[in-house]
Amino acid sequence: MTKNLVKMAPVKANEPEGGFSPSLSNKAYFRIRERILRGELNPGEVLSARRLAEEFGMSLLPVAQALRQLESDKLVESRPRAGTRVRIPRPEEVRGQCIVREALEAQSARLCCSLATMKERLELLRLAKQLDTLYDRFGHDDDPELKYVVHTLHFELHMRIAEYARCQELKDAIEKNQVLIYNWFFDLAADRRVLPPGFHTELMQAVTGSNPQLADEAMRVHVQFGVVETLQQIVPQANDWRLRRASNNQKSEHE
């Protein structure tokens, strides 16, 4: 079941287009990003470009280019004397990205409610029920593969809503701003896994209903759910990182 879900719901944001073989830097980019999104590389974990290049069987240049792209995506960060590491989201970023996501996805829900076909509405409800079932397992299972499948299916569900909204510019904005990828990253950083029963099914009942205003409101509530708890989890990690860095700097000064 897990393998089938991964095939059904791949993460597509920023993948190369046109059917051409991806460059070495793209291959390195997707391999590192997948490890971050799987939770195999934790927030704050140091990334060695040289070690990754050796592991991937590449030269240093494509891996360095991949890390620069991941830094642009705000998934990693480079700091003087600290090197490159998986980024720890800052509280203000969590708030800001949630505001952007709410604006984009509320409009996506509103349009989907008005324009989706009956077949598309049934598909959204099916995916939502499947996602809720997996989240129930996720809350009691620490399997990293299951975690990846859950978040991948979550990404797919929201991109289907954007697709059925029938506004390519809106769908592109959701995809290019990577608001769903970044939200995924927040969840990993905060280790958020418990949701109310039927959380996504209830949302889809509003989105597939007959009232666009209710769909809009339901999506806004959905996006804002757990933000306070996520911030509470992320802030100590950010502070610990800065305290460790300050401590290391002080040691260096006394050596």
Contact 39, 147 (CB under 8 A): yes
CA distance 32 to 26: 10
Other beta carbons less than 10 A from residue 208's beta carbon: 22
Q: What's domain 16-88's architecture?
A: Orthogonal Bundle (1.10)
What pLDDT does residue 186 have? 67
Question: Whose CA is closest to 198, among 135, 140, 138?
Answer: 135
- Read off the pLDDT of each residue in 82-105 and give the average, rounded to a whole number: 86
Q: Tell me: pLDDT of 188 over 80.
A: no
Phi, psi dihedral angles at 60 (to 5 degrees): -70, -30
* Helix segments in 11-59, DSSP class H: 24-37, 49-56
Q: Which CATH superfamily is domain 91-231 in?
A: GntR ligand-binding domain-like (1.20.120.530)
Query: According to CATH, where is 1.20.120.530 located in the chain?
Result: 91-231
What was the pLDDT predicted at 56? 95
Greatest Cα pair distance, the chain, in angstroms, is: 69
Residues of the chain with CATH 1.10.10.10: 16-88
Query: What's the mean pLDDT when you consider all of the chain?
Result: 81
pLDDT digits (tens, 9 = 90+) for 125-182: 999 999 999 988 876 667 778 878 888 898 899 999 999 999 999 999 988 776 667 6
